[in-house]
Structure 1
Amino acid sequence: MLCQECNERPATLHFTKIDNGEKTMMHLCQHCAQEKGEAFMLNSAFSINNLLAGLLNFHNHVQQAEKAPVIKKEPLQCEACSMTYQQFIQIGRFGCANCYEAFKEQINPILRRLHSGNGAHNGKIPSRIGGGIHLRKNIETLKQSIQELITREEFEKAAEIRDQIRSLEKQLDLRDEGGN
């Protein structure tokens, strides 16, 4: 495909713009894209890590921390791999599995935002095999809510949920016996 501007060089950059539901596509060579001001897309400093940091609002978090009163303390650091939280923000990935625990307090609010407010990854389940998985997930959720009801001493509601759990477990057993 040739560049839509010069019609000479091959188009290496493809831009899609959606404005008020109207989709516009632009196919440009690198030279024309730079001339049209699309050079920000060609910036060598741009990376997926920068994109994620921007999306997760790390930059604002760091700026706010810099504006806060200065209290001398050790930088937050993973004990296993010695990665600091500042390094994590710049790199965009953890150094080891222990970093999840080391930076837990800083990461949980971000995960809650990403995962619709609850911090737990819900994911997608294929529909043809999802029936049993959905039942198990439902049962697990009900078991958590029954524990909350018991701690609040709402035993009648807890009994109702217990009955729902039993019903779902029967459905699950029937499904497993049927081979689904």
Structure 2
Amino acid sequence: MKCDMCDKPAVVHEVTIVHGVKREVHLCVDHANEAGIAMPGIASTNKLLSKFSAGNKPTVMAPRCSECGTSFAQIRQHSLIGCPSCYDSFVEPLGRLIERAQGGATHHVGRGTNADRPSDRMQRERRLMDALASALSNEQYERAAEIRDQISQLSDDSTDESLESEAQ
């Protein structure tokens, strides 16, 4: 490599990435000394950057989680939250990210489960009644009691749902 300022061999090589822009600086011994780098290979980053990045503002540190130190950029890059405190630390950007990922939906928008259909409930009740009759005929009274409880629960659920639909 040659020095960016002259054609002498470069002994200092600095690569920085600021806001996604990669910048490479190559300096010979003379220009490295002018930039305030006393020894080749040991770069004073602040002096070097201030010398060659005229007009650039200093880089602001991105906020980090107070518990685990994870930055929001790391969360986006790895799609993993660092710890439970990250939710509090990044409440605004995480909210926007989740909203965008879910297409803005805040409630369930798909079809209901098949178990909610009355025909399925009736078929299940018929199967349970057949199983109850079979258990009683085979004198499996404990099993019959379990099946009876399942039938009772199924009937209670359907009664509750019909009361809710009438109230609406």
Pairwise same-fold verdict (TM > 0.5):
no
Q: Normalising by structure 1, what TM-score?
A: 0.30
TM normalised by structure 2 equals 0.31
